[in-house]
Amino acid sequence: MWLSRVDRDRTLPRPTGIGAAIGAASMTFVLIGVSTDYPELVSIGLSGAVLLLTAAGRLCLPLKVSVDRRLRSTRVAEGTTVGCRLSISNTGRRAVSLELVEFLPEGPVMFAIDNLPPGTRQRVHGYDLPCPRRGIHVIPRCWIGRGDPMRLVRRGTRTGSDTILIVHPRVHPLGLAGTRAITGDQRGSAEPVPSGTAFHSVREYVPGDDTRLIHWASTARTGVLTVRHSAVQDVPGHLVVLDPSPDRYPAEAFEDAVRVAASVSAAVLRVGLHLELFLGRRHEGGWSTGVVRPTSEVAALDVLAAAAPAADTTPLRPVAAALAVTGASRAVVVTGRLSADELPAIRHWGSPGLDVLVISIGDTSSRTVRVGHHVSLRTVRTSAGFAMPNAAGTAT
């Protein structure tokens, strides 16, 4: 997303930390010298003031620089970096050095652009910003400016507009056996969808996809290897439920739960099956029983990027509400720690037309047990612990 152009500085020069210290010291020397009739101290104080005025006056000269910045992508995965591209032009008659400050949720990040020669029509700088936590973030306008050689005074301005950055949860690869265990689909992600399926869209190639599904026209047009994404017709969907109850998740366990939900959702969509996603959003009349039906992996990750625990929840009520209205044939419920008193309620979640897999995050042990005729319970410690057995080929 391009930011607007900066043709001139629009703020007055401001002292840096060093400049402010010199200014305060100069004023102190002048006051002491005048009060004690000590002209030497007055001279030292005035020298510091002249130094600051000279530095500020140098920055008052017109600066003919234009700046354009954009993010390479407004969607990134957690744990990666945010790529940025900065284009700078200097149409003035003298070389300049600039400072760029990006304001992130974790704090500001500053970059130095040294010695931009006069007459430079365009110089492109690429840099990476540390990725914020999962979520939807507003990256404020960047600050572009310059300082004097002694770093006493700085002058600059905010430029452009705010940018929305969506940080997706990490997706763990489940492997062929893990995908079959989660979805019940025996083809896995490495085989084309069978007859009776409909072409839906194209998506980026994922290792393990059948090369026969590569969409060469889109690949040639975009420069990115893409494959056909098909959806199975007349097949009930797969429901993924993320329990929003905050008391179930110790420490960072909720983030692990979101990663598990993202991994399962991606596995369902990559084999061309329908996905229903429920996050347990609360409204004035109670729990929302509506589900989101994303048609692509990016759309599902966008929804999960905004997932957050919901306070004041009745235990398991959002999950039961979602299972009661779904038309899916399989459901995966991702939750935190479960007590022994809650197991009887879980046994009744499944039915002859609905197989339910409950994944409990935060348990010290990793095991899979059958708790009902159509309900299985799997306990794992973290999202990585959930993914490793699946990727290794162990079915749940």
Cβ atoms < 10 Å from Cβ of 18: 12
CATH code of 185's domain: 3.40.50
Mean pLDDT of 302-313: 79
Q: Which tokens go with 247?
A: 């008391």
**Which pLDDT value is given to residue 3?**
32
One-letter amino acid of 254? F
Together in a domain, 190 and 335: yes
Together in a domain, 99 and 133: yes
What SS3 class is residue 390? helix
**Which pLDDT value is given to residue 183?**
62
**Which pLDDT value is given to residue 276?**
86
- The verdict on residue 49 lying in a domain is yes
Using CA atoms, how far apart are residues 278 and 288, in angstroms rounded to an integer?
A: 9
- The verdict on residue 3 lying in a domain is no
- The verdict on residue 310 lying in a domain is yes
Together in a domain, 150 and 179: no
User: Which range, of 79-93, 206-220, 330-344, averages the lowest pLDDT?
Assistant: 206-220
Q: Is the pLDDT of residue 205 over 60?
A: yes
Strands (E), 259-366: 275-278, 282-283, 286-287, 330-335, 355-361
DSSP type of residue 314: P
**Which pLDDT value is given to residue 396?**
35
What SS3 class is residue 312? coil
Asked if 357 contacts 378 with a C-beta cutoff of 8 angstroms, the reply is yes
**Which pLDDT value is given to residue 43?**
92
**Which pLDDT value is given to residue 337?**
85
Together in a domain, 205 and 249: yes
The reported pTM is: 0.72
Asked if 338 contacts 360 with a C-beta cutoff of 8 angstroms, the reply is yes
CATH code of 160's domain: 2.60.40.10
Total of domains in the chain: 3
Domain end call among 168, 195, 220: 168
Asked if 124 contacts 87 with a C-beta cutoff of 8 angstroms, the reply is yes
- Structural domain boundaries, residue 30: 14-59
End-to-end CA distance of the chain: 43
Together in a domain, 162 and 210: no
- The DSSP secondary structure of 199-260, one letter per residue, reads EEEEEE--TTS-GGGB-HHHHHHHSS-EEEEEEETT---EEEEE---GGG--TTHHHHHHHH
Using CA atoms, how far apart are residues 257 and 244, in angstroms rounded to an integer?
A: 10
Mean pLDDT of 338-349: 81
CA 223, chain centre distance (Å): 24
- Cα 113 to Cα 96, 307, 363, distances in angstroms: 9, 38, 50
In 3D space, the residue among 221, 263, 249, 218 whose CA is nearest the CA of residue 391 turns out to be 263
Together in a domain, 114 and 179: no
Together in a domain, 346 and 225: yes
Q: Is the pLDDT of residue 130 over 50?
A: yes
Together in a domain, 260 and 364: yes
Together in a domain, 238 and 191: yes
Strand partners, 197: 232
